[in-house]
Structure 1
Amino acid sequence: MDTATVARFEASRNRLASLAYRLLGSAADAEDTVQDAFLRWQAADREYVEVPEAWLTKIVTNLALDRLRSAKVRRERAVGAWMPEPLLDGDPMLGPADTVEQRESVTLAVLTLMERLSPVERAAYVLREAFAYSHAEIAEILGITESGSQQHTHRARRRIAAAGNGTDIDHASARRIVEAFVDAASSGRTERLVALLTDDATGISDGAGLAEKLIRYSTPERIASAARAGFKPSPAKRRFAGGSPSIHAVVINGCPAMLVTLDDRVVGVVILEIRDDKITGVRSIAAPDRLGRLTEEWQRQEHDVPLIESW
């Protein structure tokens, strides 16, 4: 390919990666999907491609749907150990964030709920809500009718509506929320943590990738107990982490979060989902294969002063 043709693809890369990430919930899979699309672009008879952006959108969408439908992916996600891959605020893969719908479509809560949708419902929802495609355009991309696009989008929107946190979080707000959580968890008093949580709060942890299934906490009291135990330093925990990490307040997928780092490497993240100024969900992720891109973006960005310099 000549330089101009490569540049045409590269100009769309971030948008395509954002689309693939929303469909797949995995940055690694999104990157692989975009690379596969580049190979298709390379092999295509581009003389007959009237609108490259539309052509590439269709290719990436359908490559992502093929991945979602694959038996391997279905098995991996069915065993109960799958979680969306977290992304740091400012990561271009998060894509458009001008509207409430765009921001909420990339939260971990919505990405998790989208697992309950069929691949076509998921694609119709993402194309409509996050990228503002018309139903006619969605129909052409997915090979369905316009009325089919409307129906799929309506069903997806209805199922996902409960996940919207309705709160826009900036870095200052995130820091205040995370500081309150860290202070309460470090105090050793579970009642302080329970007071920060909604009555229907839930918690989920990937067990640092060591458990076969995700660990779930269904009450504020259980979440508080787990957080209190997790925030209590010990030699064993420091050995597992490889040293004494720092804890930073950040924004992850539009939500306040605490980032645990060691030697500029992310070793864990706790994401807090907010509703009506209280915490409705706590997601803990420490499996190394879910933190690779997070570490890359963290190393590229300037850092605030940590909440805890050495834990």
Structure 2
Amino acid sequence: MSDISTDAVFENARSRLLGLAYRILGSRADAEDAVQDTYLKWQGADHAAIEGADAWLTTACTRRCIDLLRSAHRSRTEYVGSWLPEPVLTPDEDTPEVQLSLSSSLTTAFLLLLERLTPKERAAYLLHEIFDMPYGDVATTLDMQEPACRKLVSRAKSRVDAAQVRHVTPASAQRRLLAAFQSAIASGNPAALAGLLSQQVELSADGGGKVSALAHVLHGESDVLSFISKDLHQYWSDYEWDFAGINGGGGIVLRKEGQASVVVSFSYDADGLANGIYIVRNPDKLARLDGTLVA
């Protein structure tokens, strides 16, 4: 391969690698680092000896992500307050195919569930269940025997299925929730929002110790509605509101002077009621929000 052709091969794979790395790591910044490290390794590789470029790149990127994930786990145990994945903009398209592929594997709730898996469980599940990689190829990527790889995926799949975080909520239900959420904060009256929340709804806020945020997770409809109608009604009165595709679903970006200051995303139960509200205020996690979309 010439230098131009090898660069072209990598650029063709970049979007897929970024999507894989983000899902493994839950961080856009770390995902971009993993993809860049993969590029540097690709530049120094013996391309004549590589039979399948896509498989080679996927393996290199996955292994780098696992290394980064192990390091990230140590830092996340010392994180100030609630840790939430770095939010990303996603295509805001209203087709079942796009919603299914994005919403089921990019939602905040799904990424938080992946945090409970081991690094290899997480990678194996994503490679096989989301990126449709055959078990044999997944095993090679993770440097393990195929039977062990199958058990790894099965164990991870059982935990994901039990949590019910991969269903798709209709766009119409998401739009009703977004409108009611904004109305509750603007007016201080949560009546319309109350009927759209699960009784077990939880609200988490991530300030990372950089800005003020809830130090603990709020549990239950009553406490969540009180916080929204009282505290957020006061705190968010002067923000500019933008509705956008966030992590595969309808979300909100709150800005001051055009700069993203808050991102809100939601999760839903099987009945279409919101059971999770996720607020990211950590400025480090909002720095790349307006960059390229993640798919």
Shorter-chain TM range is 0.7 to 0.9
CA distance in 2, matches of 1:230, 1:212: 11
Distance 1:297 1:169, change over 3 A: farther
3-state SS, counterpart of residue 296 of structure 1: coil
| 2:255 counterpart (258, 261, 281) | 261
> Within 5 Å, which residues of 2 pair with 1:1-311?
2-70=3-71, 73-80=72-79, 81-90=82-91, 100=100, 103-161=103-161, 162-164=163-165, 166-170=167-171, 174-207=174-207, 209-210=210-211, 214-233=215-234, 244-275=238-269, 276-297=271-292
| Residues 183, 189 of structure 2: 8 Å contact kept | no
Structure 1 segments unaligned to the other structure (5+ residues): 92-96, 239-243, 299-311
CA distance in 1, matches of 2:230, 2:75: 29
Q: CA deviation at 1:251?
A: 2.3
Q: CA deviation at 1:4?
A: 1.5
Distance 1:297 1:39, change over 3 A: closer
| Residues 85, 111 of structure 2: 8 Å contact kept | yes
How many aligned positions are there? 283
Work out the percentage of aligned pairs sharing the same amino acid: 34
3-state SS, counterpart of residue 50 of structure 1: coil
Q: CA deviation at 1:210?
A: 3.1
Q: CA deviation at 1:186?
A: 2.9
| Residues 185, 227 of structure 1: 8 Å contact kept | yes
Q: CA deviation at 1:274?
A: 2.0
3-state SS, counterpart of residue 231 of structure 1: helix
3-state SS, counterpart of residue 84 of structure 2: coil
Deviations 1:34-71 (A, max 9, x none): 0000110111111101111100000000000011122x
Structure 2-normalised TM-score? 0.87
Distance 1:163 1:262, change over 3 A: farther
Distance 1:98 1:191, change over 3 A: closer
CA distance in 1, matches of 2:283, 2:193: 27
Q: CA deviation at 1:196?
A: 2.2
Q: CA deviation at 1:74?
A: 2.3
Q: CA deviation at 1:75?
A: 2.2
Deviations 1:73-106 (A, max 9, x none): 2221113542111111229xxxxx6584663121
| Residues 108, 266 of structure 2: 8 Å contact kept | no
3-state SS, counterpart of residue 168 of structure 2: coil
- Matched to 2:119, the amino acid is P
Distance 1:52 1:13, change over 3 A: same
- Matched to 2:267, the amino acid is E
3-state SS, counterpart of residue 133 of structure 2: coil
Distance 1:165 1:47, change over 3 A: closer
3-state SS, counterpart of residue 293 of structure 1: coil
- Matched to 1:32, the amino acid is D
Q: CA deviation at 1:215?
A: 2.8
3-state SS, counterpart of residue 282 of structure 1: strand
CA distance in 2, matches of 1:146, 1:51: 19
Distance 1:245 1:297, change over 3 A: farther
3-state SS, counterpart of residue 294 of structure 1: coil
Moved more, 12-21 or 97-106: 97-106
3-state SS, counterpart of residue 217 of structure 2: strand
- Matched to 2:265, the amino acid is I
Deviations 1:132-174 (A, max 9, x none): 001111011101111111111111111122142522444x654
Which structure has more relative contact order (CA 8 Å, sep 6+)? It is: 2
Deviations 1:186-227 (A, max 9, x none): 332345433321111111011474369853101111111111
CA distance in 2, matches of 1:230, 1:165: 31
CA distance in 1, matches of 2:213, 2:266: 23
CA distance in 2, matches of 1:182, 1:87: 21
